[in-house]
């Protein structure tokens, strides 16, 4: 049986796009095959671990999930961790454990994946979006302070692209106003702020292991935090049951179970945890490769006034989940959308992170937002594109991306 996401050819075959309408002259440096934006890096070790799990008598939440939780908690120095089936589940569960609901307000950023905001709607609370900082594109603490009302219960900073938000300021606000500080760390494995690993604090932190993330279990997530909180999250993530099936079905286990609250079904499987354990062992090497690619991009693009490069503030360690390049307003004759088409015509896949949440029809309509409601997020969205950044890129792949970007810029510079 073939595994289409592994074989390069079949993977590419699925993703090849129609070339966009030709530019005035044909593009010069041209890759013969399409470079996918972010394919997963699955090795023989992962396959062996998954097969080993399939051959065992336990395929859903069991010993490997326990092992993965312990290894992950050790890696980020978390007080405790519960593995779940997504980061979205981790965010939702954390809000539910904190009993945030109707009448409450939760402050977060518009420049994120919609899941960050959707979970606030899931618990019936009101999302209050505030704009981002222009350099890191993470939530602006001054705007959080201005948005706090007596109904505010929580704040969800997103460590955008892997760059930690300004946690000293946000933490101070959360303490002063007794708010839940729930971090969306979907991009931030492994990242650090002022020498402390993201996930090492007592407050809840949600990680994602979706296929494109720095560590993948295909789908999956982890919620870290203080042990009592994580214990309640574990119950809530498993139907609200006080004992999981692994314990009930072991020899000497008791068939009795008690549902103490109407919980969710958000548990991770041992098959996913098998992938996660392998990926965790490789994480340092994968990150080194990401940093290498980032250095090559920086060398190629810095000093060119067509670009605004991603920043890394001195007090952080960036997880480099995304390489978000911003085009300087007015530098080119074409806009961001056209640049993306031109790169696709040169066989380079890119992404945009993100369509700001306030411009999606649901949020726009419900809360009456206009694009300019969050001018920093919207202006940057219009100028941004994410270049391929993943450990599968060879130096030649990176050189091809750089050639294609510089070719487009040279052709359309104003
Ligand atoms: C990927 C992502 C999520 C959701 O993660 P899932 O594991 O897919 O649920 C949440 N927030 C951000 C910022 C993300 O990038």
Partners of 81 in beta bridges: 224
The distance of Cα 27 from the centroid of its chain, to the nearest Å, equals 33
Fold of 44-279: 3.40.640
Ligand 1 contact, 350 CB (< 6 A): no
Partners of 205 in beta bridges: 183, 224
For the chain, which residues score pLDDT lower than 70? Answer: 1-29, 244-248
Beta strands, E only, 54-108: 80-84, 105-108
The distance of Cα 54 from the centroid of its chain, to the nearest Å, equals 28
Q: Token digits for 35?
A: 């470079």
pLDDT, residue 24, reads: 52
Q: Maximum CA pair distance of the chain?
A: 75
For ligand 1, mutation pick of 93, 108, 116, 118 (most atoms within 8 Å of CB):
116
Instruction: Reply yes or no on whether 213 is catalytic.
Output: yes
Distance from residue 184's CA to the centre of ligand 1 (Å): 8
Q: Smallest Cα–Cα separation from 185: which of 49, 87, 59?
A: 87
Ligand 1 contact, 116 CB (< 6 A): yes
Left if phi > 0, otherwise alpha if psi is -120 to 50, otherwise beta: which for 164? beta
Nearest-CA residue for ligand 1 atom 2 is 186
Q: What does the alpha-carbon distance between residue 149 and residue 142 come to, in Å, rounded to a whole number? A: 14
Distance from residue 222's CA to the centre of ligand 1 (Å): 11
pLDDT, residue 10, reads: 36
Q: What does the alpha-carbon distance between residue 181 and residue 197 come to, in Å, rounded to a whole number? A: 16
Regarding beta strands 221-225 and 80-84, do their DSSP bridges make them parallel or antiparallel, or are they unpaired?
A: antiparallel
What's the whole-model pTM score?
0.92
Angle at 387 between CA 386 and CA 392, to 5 degrees: 125
Fold of 283-412: 3.90.1150
Ligand 1 contact, 136 CB (< 6 A): no
Q: What is the number of residues in the chain?
A: 414
Q: 213, 265, 282, 366: which one is catalytic? A: 213
Is-contact 109 80, C-beta < 8 A?
no
Distance from residue 413's CA to the centre of ligand 1 (Å): 35
Q: What does the alpha-carbon distance between residue 281 and residue 1 come to, in Å, rounded to a whole number? A: 27
Q: Where does the chain hold its CATH 3.90.1150.10 domain(s)? A: 283-412
pLDDT, residue 252, reads: 78
Regarding beta strands 180-181 and 152-156, do their DSSP bridges make them parallel or antiparallel, or are they unpaired?
A: parallel
For ligand 1, mutation pick of 83, 86, 88, 164 (most atoms within 8 Å of CB):
88
Q: Where does the chain hold its CATH 3.40.640.10 domain(s)? A: 44-279
Distance from residue 26's CA to the centre of ligand 1 (Å): 38
Distance from residue 110's CA to the centre of ligand 1 (Å): 14
Q: Smallest Cα–Cα separation from 142: which of 163, 162, 115, 170?
A: 170
Q: What does the alpha-carbon distance between residue 123 and residue 118 come to, in Å, rounded to a whole number? A: 9
């Amino acid at each position: 049986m073939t595994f289409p996401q592994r074989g390069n050819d079949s993977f590419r075959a699925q993703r090849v796009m129609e070339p966009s309408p030709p530019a005035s002259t044909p593009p010069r440096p041209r890759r013969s095959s399409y470079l996918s934006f972010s394919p997963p890096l699955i090795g023989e070790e992962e396959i062996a671990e998954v097969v080993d799990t399939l051959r065992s008598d336990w395929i859903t939440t069991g010993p490997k999930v326990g092992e993965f939780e312990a290894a992950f908690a050790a890696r980020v120095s978390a007080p405790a961790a519960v593995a779940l089936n997504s980061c979205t589940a981790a965010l939702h569960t954390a809000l539910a454990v904190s009993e945030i609901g109707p009448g409450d307000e939760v402050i977060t950023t518009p420049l994120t994946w919609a899941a960050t905001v959707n979970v606030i709607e899931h618990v019936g609370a009101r999302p209050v979006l505030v704009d981002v900082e222009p350099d890191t594109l993470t939530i602006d603490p001054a705007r959080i302070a201005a948005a706090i009302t007596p109904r505010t219960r929580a704040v969800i900073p997103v460590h955008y692209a892997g760059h930690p938000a300004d946690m000293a300021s946000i933490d101070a606000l959360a303490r002063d106003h007794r708010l839940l500080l729930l971090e969306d760390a979907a991009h931030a494995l492994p990242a650090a702020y002022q020498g402390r690993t993201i996930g090492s604090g007592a407050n809840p932190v949600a990680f994602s292991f979706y296929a494109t993330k720095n560590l993948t279990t295909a789908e999956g997530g982890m919620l870290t935090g203080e042990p009592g909180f994580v214990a309640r999250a574990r119950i809530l993530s498993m139907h609200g049951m006080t004992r999981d099936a692994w314990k009930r079905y072991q020899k000497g286990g008791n068939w009795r179970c008690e549902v103490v609250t109407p919980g969710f079904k958000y548990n991770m499987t041992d098959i996913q945890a098998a992938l996660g354990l392998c990926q965790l062992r490789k994480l340092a090497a994968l990150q080194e490769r990401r940093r290498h690619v980032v250095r090559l991009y920086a060398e190629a693009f810095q000093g060119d006034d067509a670009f605004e490069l991603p920043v890394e503030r001195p007090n952080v360690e960036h997880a480099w989940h995304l390489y978000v390049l911003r085009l300087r307003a007015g530098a080119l004759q074409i806009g961001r959308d056209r640049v993306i088409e031109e790169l696709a015509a040169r066989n380079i896949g890119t992404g945009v992170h993100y369509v700001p949440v306030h411009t999606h029809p649901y949020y726009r309509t419900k809360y009456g937002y206009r694009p300019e409601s969050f001018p920093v997020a919207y202006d940057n969205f219009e100028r941004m594109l994410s270049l391929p950044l993943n450990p599968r890129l060879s130096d030649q792949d990176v050189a091809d991306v750089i050639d294609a970007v510089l070719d487009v810029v040279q052709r359309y510079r104003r």
